[in-house]
Structure 1
Amino acid sequence: MEGEGERKVSSALEALLDFYISAGADGWLELDPADAFALSEAPRTAAPPQAGRMAPAGMQPAAPAAPARQMPPQSPQPRSAPPLQPAPAHAPGAAGGGAVVPGDEVVVAAREAARSAATLDELRETLARFDGCNLKLTAKSLVFADGPADARVMFVGEAPGREEDARGLPFVGRSGQLLDRMLEAIGLARGEVYITNVVPWRPPGNRTPSPQETEICKPFVLRQIELVRPKVLVFLGGASAKALTGVQDGILRLRGRWLELPLGPDAQGATIRAMATLHPAYLLRSPVQKRYAWRDFLAIKAALDEASGS
């Protein structure tokens, strides 16, 4: 019985070894780390089986014609990372030996490109050609804006989401549906207002745009504001308010307060009345806060009525 048990164990070990070999395992697990790719590129030299290693049945190697010289063991050398190539001299923000990161030159280029557009259609085409923001590489579409160029009120969010990226329009998901109902509550239709975002491309995974990405995209939304010249500008959420006005208060302290946003140098010192309110996405998560948004929208309606009567 003892001999039969040993044969069963031996058969099981052989079967296990056959499984590992068929799966591609061809060596022992060592304690020291080794680069398998580097080792695979080294010249392969036949070596005698290691002591104590059992070869599977039917796979015993034939006796060599002459004793093979055993190579001395070599310690695997980890493959070093390739050296960083210096960035091209013309790349904006490039530093020798480092990765290319958009810098001040890209922001200046964005300002010049935005300033060159005389109409919203030209601005859209200019933005579509602009390659200075890395978000363009991962987004499906450019989410420029939605609404008439002569709208009396303009809404600015932070960045498009998944639904917006798929359709190429801002605020068309659940947040946009809530925004439409809020507009209807004060007598405004979706087609009467102009809606856009500070960042026109969806950040991957709906992450928050980085400060640098926001700075690169900001000249284009500021140019939209100058070209539309609305009577009232509404920031949807604290992020867009901070990006365009520089205020640092949280949205719960900032909302409902009237601000003055200076226009560009072509406006000769003109400003636009602006107010920050709660983002529809925040209201979906915190419905109890809708009462504050309702007060803000009533103030927006009063301001529009006042502007129409003056």
Structure 2
Amino acid sequence: MEPANALALLEWQIELGVTEAIGDAPVNRYEVPAEAPKVKTSAAKRSKPAPGPVDAIDPVAMAQAAAAEADSLETLAFALGAFEHCELKRGARNLVFSDGMPEARVMIIGEAPGRDEDLQGRPFVGAAGQLLDKMFGAIGMARDAAKPEAAIYITNILPWRPPQNRDPLPEEIDMMLPFVRRHIQLAAPDLLVLMGNIACQALLGRKGITRLRGSWETVMDRPTLPIFHPAYLLRNPAAKREAWADLLALQARLREMS
């Protein structure tokens, strides 16, 4: 084919839209196997090892270990403040550890801080706390007494306020119980007073304060008296007569042990 004719034929094919060169032999494109698409993987993905199993954290075991290391009330309070496995801590303003005289013969264990306690960082400072002071003042005892024989030492099962003052959850009680038991060991009181259902549930494994109150129990080898919580007495003034009987029983037991 003459060069001029070949050039004219090429220009004519371009005008028709032909843009690819065609081989000498015909090819059936439907018989050509399709290539599988190639997936690009970055070097970072190819070299990244598979994640290993994540060890679950046991908050109760962590609490037991932290409490066991405390050798004084000061270090126990520090251990509680450093404990990060209780969600209540994130919503509370203050850690509420204790109040009164640590050397007191009587250790009172309540349930959990309320709004006033959360604000001040001290247990039993609201209306229920004022009633508690009056109750024990009636038998000659106070949190600010100068002598251990007339003093009381106060703490709670939970050191942080639950949201909207709800009842503590069982898992929260279980988590804080190692600290409570260590607190009792370090304070070493002669007698324990459990105020309300939550304290009885935690340390006696039973609830039903109307049945438990007034009956002496034993917790960690110490005489223990369940009594009504002051907040309950504020809602049920008729129960103050039974609470007074329990206070007199406490006073008599202390005299027997003197």
TM-score above 0.5 = yes
The letter of the residue matching 2:68 is: R
Q: How does 1:216-231 map to 2 (within 5 A)?
A: 216-231=175-190
Is the partner of 1:154 in helix, strand or coil? strand
Aligned equivalents of 1:288, 1:115: Cα separation in 2: 42
Cα distance, 1:91 vs. partner? 4.3
Q: 2:160 aligns with which of 201, 212, 218?
A: 201
The letter of the residue matching 2:167 is: T
The letter of the residue matching 1:210 is: L
Asked if residue 89 in structure 1 is aligned to residue 54 in structure 2, the reply is: yes
Aligned equivalents of 1:259, 1:243: Cα separation in 2: 13
Aligned equivalents of 1:224, 1:152: Cα separation in 2: 14
Q: How does 1:64-213 map to 2 (within 5 A)?
A: 89-92=54-57, 105-191=58-144, 192-213=151-172
Q: How big is the alpha-carbon RMSD for the aligned residues of Structure 1 and Structure 2?
A: 1.5
Write out the 4+ residue segments of structure 1 that deviate beyond 6 Å after TM superposition. none
Cα distance, 1:153 vs. partner? 0.1
C-alpha contact 2:66 2:79 (8 A) present in aligned 1: yes
Cα distance, 1:247 vs. partner? 2.2
Q: Mind listing any 5+ residue stretches in structure 2 that lack a counterpart?
A: 1-50, 145-150
Pairs aligned (count)? 202
The letter of the residue matching 1:208 is: D
Aligned equivalents of 1:295, 1:251: Cα separation in 2: 15
Q: 2:213 aligns with which of 221, 232, 255?
A: 255
Aligned equivalents of 2:137, 2:172: Cα separation in 1: 33
Aligned equivalents of 1:172, 1:90: Cα separation in 2: 41
Aligned equivalents of 1:206, 1:174: Cα separation in 2: 14
Deviations 1:235-286 (A, max 9, x none): 01121111111124x1111000000112xxxxxxxx0000100000000001
C-alpha contact 2:99 2:143 (8 A) present in aligned 1: no
Partner in structure 2 of residue 68 of structure 1: none
Is the partner of 1:240 in helix, strand or coil? helix
Q: Mind listing any 5+ residue stretches in structure 1 that lack a counterpart?
A: 1-85, 93-104, 263-270
Q: 1:235 aligns with which of 163, 179, 194?
A: 194
Aligned equivalents of 1:225, 1:305: Cα separation in 2: 21
TM-score (norm 1): 0.63
Between 275-284 and 183-192, the greater mean CA deviation after superposition: 183-192
Cα distance, 1:190 vs. partner? 2.0
Is the partner of 1:108 in helix, strand or coil? helix
Asked if residue 283 in structure 1 is aligned to residue 242 in structure 2, the reply is: no
Deviations 1:132-186 (A, max 9, x none): 1110010010000112221100100110000000000000000000000001100
Is the partner of 1:169 in helix, strand or coil? coil
Question: Bigger relative contact order, structure 1 or 2, given CA contacts below 8 A and separation 6+?
Answer: 2
Structure having the higher Rg: 2
The letter of the residue matching 1:193 is: I
